[in-house]
A and B are shown apart, each in its own frame.
Chain A
């Protein structure tokens, strides 16, 4: 493992006593400028991992470092590089949004250079900022939390289910903002159980289940490996053995129509089918969500 990774966890574990392991032996490295989706169902250990990475919780095993700074021994240096939006966002409700943003900005040594840009992107105007936070809707509070986290252009962005409470338009805007930050070389660590947004944003995914890291894969690799549904219409009866290649499965023949699934590269299959002159071929791309679900099930098995 590289010592200069944006986020590096080694053997990270958290036990709450009585044998309850919230997280166990997690080894994970997130490179600089990488966009990593951290996936898992509710209670899988996503938030625990993030809180350990930020020093909010103390690990019972292993270590975690941000930009080479160990969170236990060098917490302040580690957090100087971080912008974080908690999943359960707590705000002081008696003060105005503007005051809260100012205060959180002052707690950070980096200047809030992106504040105006983010306020515009996320539709938070002066009128909204002058209101007390107790008057905010859940979505407005979430937007304020996002601006507070990203306003100082942190090199490492850690978001715990950041789109919850946002309407679809704002979700899309947020993903655009994060893409933009990633293009500027910022690391994005994005926890979610909404697979579509991870598919849209991330280069790599890590999956946790029951406190253990199931796998870490490139999204492209998953896309290549995903299973497609194929339907072929022949003009006359055809023996499937004439075109079957590796990766073809789940056959069903209805008259002249053949249904099956295909995993992996479609090239060899298309070459063989071409020789059989089918009347029509339909290849339906499987959603990445289906791949994730299948991987979860594999993990269970």
Chain B
């Protein structure tokens, strides 16, 4: 399993580091830009915005240090960088079936579950690297901007962990899609569709009363970074739902792969 994990990480190292540096730079810039913000003016501005626009920051008080920095964690750029990491990593097993790498590996005395377990572990490590580099960018910003002083390092860590867990879940769903797919493109398509639908449901549930009950069906509904930054902790439901998605999707993927054919 270690051999497959090591190969999976080596092949993706450059992409992962690039995505992580991009996320770190983005969250650093978000934090840095708070130095130029007049808290009262931005509060008035945000309150004048229609709910459909405010929903992009999940209704948090973006004028406060925690709310402003938290908006960076749910910004489409952050979500896109994390999703790109998780989905690309999650689709590796389908791509390996497509290109014959899986056939080469699994014609050795290697369990299918060990092979896929290593691919899942590699996905988790890649999402972790990107999240840690993002955390690093946000931390440097907090250390550099005096007005962000109320945001503690602990609350930043507690904020990034559910973000990490959410994208591990999206990656695991992509791994599950991979275990049904013969091509990487199909798996990427399913993973992307899952992330986009989750985003759309979460967004619509905030701006449209009729869609409000659908909110909990989206993994993104369970991630409220501004609340976590403000409270200093995430609710148990966040951990349970996001962790549950990751575990159930991974377990199903292992089950399907143990029975599937792996010929290109």
The chain A residues found within 8 Å of chain B, CB to CB, are 51, 54-58, 75-77, 79-80, 82, 84, 86, 88-95, 99-100, 103-104, 106-109, 145, 148
* 10 A-B pairs with C-beta separation under 8 A: A56-B107, A56-B261, A75-B109, A86-B103, A86-B107, A90-B96, A90-B99, A90-B103, A104-B104, A109-B109
Could you tell me if A99 and B10 are in contact, using CB atoms closer than 8 angstroms?
yes
The interface residues of chain A lying within 8 Å CB-to-CB of B6 are: 103
Is residue B214 contacting chain A, with contact meaning CB distance below 8 A? no
Identify B100's interface contact among A90, A106, A148, CB under 8 A.
A90
Q: Is the CB of A91 within 8 A of B109?
A: no
B52 located at the interface, meaning its Cβ lies under 8 Å from any Cβ of chain A in the complex: no
In the bound complex, residues from chain B placing their C-beta under 8 Å from that of A88 are 100, 103, 264
B109: chain A residues at CB < 8 Å are 75-77, 79-80, 107-109
User: A56 vs B12: C-alpha distance in the bound complex, in angstroms?
Assistant: 25
In the complex where A57-B263, A90-B102, A90-B264 touch, is A95 in contact with B107 (Cβ < 8 A)? no
CA distance A82 to B109 in the complex (A): 9
Contact A84 B107 (CB under 8 A): yes
B263 neighbours in A (Cβ, 8 Å): 51, 56-57
Contact A57 B261 (CB under 8 A): yes
Extra pairs beyond A92-B101, A95-B10, A99-B10 (14, CB < 8 Å)? A54-B107, A56-B107, A57-B263, A76-B111, A88-B103, A90-B101, A90-B103, A90-B264, A95-B11, A99-B7, A103-B6, A107-B3, A107-B108, A108-B109
Residue of A nearest to B105 (CB): A107
Q: How far is the CB of B91 from chain A (nearest CB, A)?
A: 15
- CB of B3 within 8 A of CB of A106, answer yes
B27 within 8 A of A: no
Residues of A within 8 A of B100 (CB): 86, 88-90
B183: min CB distance to chain A, Å: 13
The residues in B between 227 and 264 inclusive whose CB is less than 8 angstroms from any CB of A are 261-264
Q: Known interface pairs A51-B263, A57-B263, A103-B3. Does A92 touch B11 (Cβ–Cβ under 8 Å)?
A: yes
- Is the CB of B106 closer than 8 A to any CB of chain A? yes
Q: Which residues of chain A are within 8 angstroms of B261 by Cβ–Cβ distance?
A: 56-58
Bitwise, B71-115 to A at CB < 8 A (1) or not (0) is 000000000000000000000000010011111111111110000
Q: How far is the CB of B3 from chain A (nearest CB, A)?
A: 5
**In whole angstroms, how far apart are the Cα atoms of A58 and B104 in the complex?**
16
Chain A hits for B110, CB < 8 A = 76, 79, 107
Q: Which of A56, A58, A76 has the most CB of B within 10 A?
A: A56
Bound Cα distance A99, B7 (Å): 8
- A109 CA to B261 CA, complexed, in Å: 24
How far, in whole Å, are A99 and B10 apart by their CA atoms in the complex? Answer: 10
- For the complex of A and B, list the 8 residue pairs with the smallest distance between their C-beta atoms, beginning with the closest: A90-B100, A94-B11, A107-B108, A90-B101, A84-B107, A79-B109, A90-B99, A76-B109
CB-defined contacts of A92 to chain B, threshold 8 Å: 7, 11, 101
Give the nearest-CB partner of A82 in chain B.
B107
B104 touches A89 (CB 8 A): yes
CB–CB B96/A79 < 8 A = no
Contact with A along B202-238 (1 / 0, CB 8 A): 0000000000000000000000000000000000000
A91–B108 contact, CB under 8 A? no
**Closest beta carbon of chain B to A16's beta carbon, Å:** 10
Q: Which residue from chain A places its CB closest to the CB of B107 in the assembled complex?
A: A84
Decide if A95 touches B7 in the complex (CB within 8 Å). Answer: yes
Specify the chain B residue showing the minimal Cβ separation from A81.
B109
Closest chain-B Cβ to A90's Cβ sits at a distance in Å of 3
Residues of B close to A107: CB separation below 8 A: 3-4, 105, 108-110
Interfacial chain A residues near B4, Cβ < 8 Å: 103, 107
A189: min CB distance to chain B, Å: 13
B96, B102, B105 pick with most chain A CB within 10 angstroms: B105
Instruction: Find out whether the CB atom of B3 lies under 8 angstroms from the CB atom of A86.
Output: no
Q: Report A11 CB to chain B, min CB distance, Å.
A: 19
Task: Report B3-39 CB contacts with A as 1/0, cut-off 8 Å.
Answer: 1101100111010000000000000000000000000
* Closest Cβ neighbor of A51 among chain B residues: B263
By a CB distance below 8 angstroms, the chain B residues around A95 are 7, 10-11
Min CB gap B88→A, angstroms = 13
Residue ID in chain A nearest B13 by CB atoms: A94
Say how far B39's CB is from chain A's closest CB, in angstroms.
Answer: 47
- Complex interface: chain B residues within 8 A of A51 (CB): 103, 263
**CA–CA, A95 and B106, complex, Å:** 19
Q: In the complex, which residue of chain B has the Cβ closest to the Cβ of A104?
A: B108
CB-defined contacts of A80 to chain B, threshold 8 Å: 109
Bound CA span A11–B7, Å:
38
Tell me which residues across on chain A come within 8 A of B104, comparing CB atoms: 86, 89-91, 104, 145, 148
A106 shortest CB reach to chain B, Å? 5
What is the chain A residue whose CB lies nearest that of B108? Answer: A107
Interchain nearest-CB distance for A23 vs B (Å): 13
Contacts of B103 in A (CB 8 A): 51, 56, 86, 88, 90
